[in-house]
Amino acid sequence: MSKVHNFSAGPGILPIEVLKQSAESCINFDNLNLSLLEISHRSKSYDAVMDEARFLIKELFGVGDEYEVLYLGGGASMQFAMVPYNLLTENGYAAYVNTGVWSTKAIKESKIIGNTKVIASSEDKKFSYIPKGFEVPKDADYLHITSNNTIYGTQYKEFPKSDIPLVCDMSSDIFSRTVNAQDFALIYAGAQKNIGPAGSTMVMIKKDILGKTGRKMLSMLDYQIHIKGGSMYNTPPVFPVYVTLLTLRWLKQHGGVSWIEKINQQKADLLYNEIDKNSLFVGTAAKEDRSNMNACFLLSKPELEAEFDKLAKEARIDGIKGHRDVGGYRASMYNALPLESVQLLVDVMKAFEAKYA
């Protein structure tokens, strides 16, 4: 079978060895002669999966026991509500930076819970840049940011310095680069872009920020309940957590975050260099804020879209259609995407220019 070069924005590409191991687990998991899909989540075999999956998050982030790790359902979208529900006090307020669709949705949910202020936004230029130089309030309950914006192709290169708890949605660039995780009070990420398949959301929480809201909590939305239950207060997303574990093992075994960061930078440099010098393409994000995960670009001659699509399809390049809010193209270069796939896309872009410029 010929290789398909998968630039999908999410669910995104996974390492081939992870796919093979996870497929085998559906037949015979842990030499039990039972499928992972049918064993009890309370079994010793699955306890070991959950424990290691939580431990590896902390190890790769370089944090200690002051943090807890959860695997929950509901996607990152559930966290848009759970974050303010667990952190926003009845008499306080939450501060948000709006950098795109997902930030906008998080702000909407927070406003339902309580007082919410947008302290900076890039909406004035269609979210094509990351706001800078804004003042972080010292009296807010927390500051929420989105580290990478898949739809608009922007990414924080430096995170805000904050004296209040810093909360970050890292769904689309978690473990793609080294960060000082101890600067964050809470990090959450839907697994389906960089660390696993759809169906599981990782939440890493500094324990001392919890229990201060003053409200009576619903059990299923209470981080402290889920921490006490070891991510198994209710039945967890068993298979997605296992595939996430395999992906985290893959990352650690190959050299960790510093290893993949170098490769991700090579991929991004290769593609952006071609976008900038190719007369038929133009980038949509401010150059200083370009995402290393999601490169968004347009054709300078939109009437040639069908021709470029044809060349890409012939090269077995998949998933580069841009989001409907932006149009054009989006090449998502998550951790498991090999450099050779980016090189092939660049070669197709060069051939396209040679033929049509």
Domain-by-domain residue ranges, the chain?
A: 16-253, 256-356
Query: Using CA atoms, how far apart are residues 45 and 263, in angstroms rounded to an integer?
Result: 34
CATH topology of domain 256-356: Aspartate Aminotransferase, domain 1 (3.90.1150)
User: Residue range 114-138: average pLDDT?
Assistant: 97
Q: Among residues 3, 30, 58, 102, which one is catalytic?
A: 102
> pLDDT tens for residues 325-342?
889 999 999 999 999 999
φ, ψ of residue 47 to 5 degrees: the values are -55, -40
pLDDT band at residue 81 using 50, 70 and 90 as cut-offs: very high
Residue 183 is a catalytic residue? no
User: Torsion-angle region of residue 230: left (phi > 0), alpha (psi -120 to 50) or beta?
Assistant: left
Structure token digits, residue 119: 């302290």
Residue 102 is a catalytic residue? yes
User: Residue range 233-244: average pLDDT?
Assistant: 97
Cα-to-chain-centroid distance, residue 235: 23
* CATH number, domain 16-253, options 3.10.20.90, 3.40.50.11810, 3.40.640.10, 3.30.70.260: 3.40.640.10
Q: What is the reported pTM?
A: 0.97
Q: Among candidates 158, 118, 114, 162, which has minimal Cα distance to 136?
A: 162
The whole-number pLDDT of residue 325 equals: 83
**294-299 β-sheet, strand order:** 281-283, 294-299, 329-332
pLDDT band at residue 3 using 50, 70 and 90 as cut-offs: confident
Task: Tell whether omega for the bond before 11 is within 30 degrees of 0, i.e. cis.
Answer: yes
The per-residue pLDDT of the chain, averaged, comes to 97
The strand pairing partners of 142, in sequence order, are 94
Query: Using CA atoms, how far apart are residues 341 and 337, in angstroms rounded to an integer?
Result: 7
Q: Among candidates 129, 147, 173, which has minimal Cα distance to 333?
A: 173
pLDDT band at residue 2 using 50, 70 and 90 as cut-offs: low
User: Residue range 133-147: average pLDDT?
Assistant: 97
Asked if the model's pLDDT at residue 1 lies above 60, the reply is no
Q: Among residues 141, 169, 173, 222, which one is catalytic?
A: 169
User: Residue range 66-79: average pLDDT?
Assistant: 97
Q: Among residues 193, 206, 222, 267, which one is catalytic?
A: 193
Residue 250 is a catalytic residue? no
